[in-house]
């Protein structure tokens, strides 16, 4: 028998700010708050929020979770990001990302910006000041809800929006 660390070694996220510089699996251990969130500077990263919340209190000038530079294959799942001065999740300069089972609420910019070839599934975006959910080229948004944002779901070329609810946004837009 192998231990969980042998099967899937995971690194705990115990406080904010938190910087990820190595590929691997990371997980939240509790609700966390701060003026800066999680910064990803690596490819092939999984962040499991484990049902916890990252709360920015609309202070500082940070995103809840963001990527620096161009990276690939980032997976974020199972939690809530709220009250960030910028976006809840900002992966715009990356690609091949998956965001699942995440709620983003009351962020001063986008709720979720997934990047190119992003797959966003079972997410909820509410009361964000810009796009609730955004994907760049060839993205997929499915089984998600976008309510009371500046724009509901914003997509760029060849993207698919499937089984989503978009309501009470200032604009309902997807190209």
At residue 149, does pLDDT exceed 80? yes
- Write out pLDDT tens, residues 45-58: 999 999 999 999 87
Percentage of the chain surpassing pLDDT 90?
85
Nearest to 130 by CA among 68, 87, 84: 87
Report the pLDDT averaged over residues 129-158: 95
Is the pTM higher than 0.85? The answer reads yes
Q: Residue holding tokens 């976008």?
A: 146
- Write out pLDDT tens, residues 57-112: 877 779 999 999 999 999 999 999 999 999 999 999 999 999 999 999 999 999 99
Nearest to 39 by CA among 21, 24, 56, 59: 21
Q: 7 pLDDT band (50/70/90 cuts)?
A: low
What are the residue ranges spanned by the domains of the chain? Answer: 4-166
| Amino acid 127: pLDDT | 96
Tell me if 157 sits within 8 A of 175, measured CB to CB: yes
């Amino acid at each position: 028998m192998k231990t969980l660390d042998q099967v899937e070694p995971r690194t705990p996220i115990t406080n904010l700010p938190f910087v990820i510089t190595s590929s691997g699996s990371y997980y939240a251990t509790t609700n966390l708050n701060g003026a800066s969130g999680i910064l990803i500077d690596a490819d092939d990263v999984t962040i499991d929020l484990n049902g916890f919340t990252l709360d920015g209190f609309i202070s500082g000038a940070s995103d809840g979770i963001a990527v620096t530079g161009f990276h690939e294959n980032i997976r974020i799942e199972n939690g809530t990001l709220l009250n960030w001065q910028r976006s809840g999740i900002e992966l715009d300069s990356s690609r091949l990302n998956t965001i699942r089972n995440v709620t983003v609420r009351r962020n001063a910019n986008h709720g979720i910006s997934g990047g190119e070839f992003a797959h966003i599934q079972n997410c909820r975006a509410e009361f964000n000041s810009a796009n609730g959910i955004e994907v760049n080229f060839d993205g997929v948004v499915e089984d998600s809800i976008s309510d009371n944002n500046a724009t509901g779901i914003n997509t760029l070329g060849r993207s698919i929006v499937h089984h989503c609810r978009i309501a009470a946004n200032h604009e309902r837009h997807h190209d």
